[in-house]
Amino acid sequence: MITIRSAKPTDARQIAKILMVIFDQMGITELPPADLETRVAQCFADQVFLGEIAETLVAETSGTVVGVAFSYHADQESAVGAHWNSAFTDVSMQVHPESETLPGEWYLELLATAPATRGQGVGAKLLAATKSLAEQYGAETLALNVDLVNPRAEKLYRRQGYQLAGEMTILGHRYRHLELKLD
């Protein structure tokens, strides 16, 4: 059974392991994968990403994290970027150098599931929980970016009612910016 809950600092290692698929797709080559994973875990062990300025939800089954959704209000994007980048200052690397949001939206920056659970509805459950979270914060729009080379993910978002709001480039990759109007 899949349970969706707020992440805890003790989840950081499992979160980082799941998110590495996204960082791999982004083509980050400045650091060895193990070092990158450690730095990502450091970010998610901090309250900054666990409710202070952003929200991290996890999907869990039998005590194991099998999915992650990381989101925040667009007004917090600079603070989120600063926290990400603070983990990489010693290597002069920025993992969040560009704006990914549009004003006023609740932004789902990262959504990933463990490979063994893909196609089992984990992503859809995390999307629904993120939508509820955005509504609790009073957001009118929930938005995300999907890589143009990831049609499977875009199909999931479109089934959930997301509509195209534009395109943008993030770290050299083209993305579709999708939005879901909230009630």
In tens, the pLDDT along 76-85 reads: 999 999 999 8
Based on DSSP, count helices (H) and strands (E) in the chain, helices before strands: 5, 7
Which pTM does this prediction carry?
0.93
> What CATH number has the domain bearing residue 22?
3.40.630.30
134-155 confidence digits (pLDDT tens):
999 999 999 999 999 889 889 9
Tokens of 42: 């450091």
**Cβ proximity of 60 and 5 under 8 Å:** yes
For residue 8, being part of any structural domain is answered with yes
Per-residue confidence (pLDDT) for residue 3, from 0 to 100:
97
Domain membership flag for residue 135? yes
Q: How many domains does the chain have?
A: 1
Give the CA dihedral 125, 76, 140, 8, nearest 10 degrees. Answer: 30
Residue 158 maps to a domain: no
Q: Where are the beta strands (DSSP E) in the chain?
A: 3-6, 55-61, 64-73, 106-113, 141-147, 163-170, 173-181
Domain enclosing residue 110, as ranges: 3-140
Q: Does 152 fall in a domain?
A: no
The candidate with the shortest Cα–Cα distance to 57, out of 6, 129, 114, is 6
- Contacting residues for 138 by C-beta, under 8 A, at least 6 apart: none
Nearest to 23 by CA among 115, 92, 112: 112
Residue 175 inside a domain? The answer is no
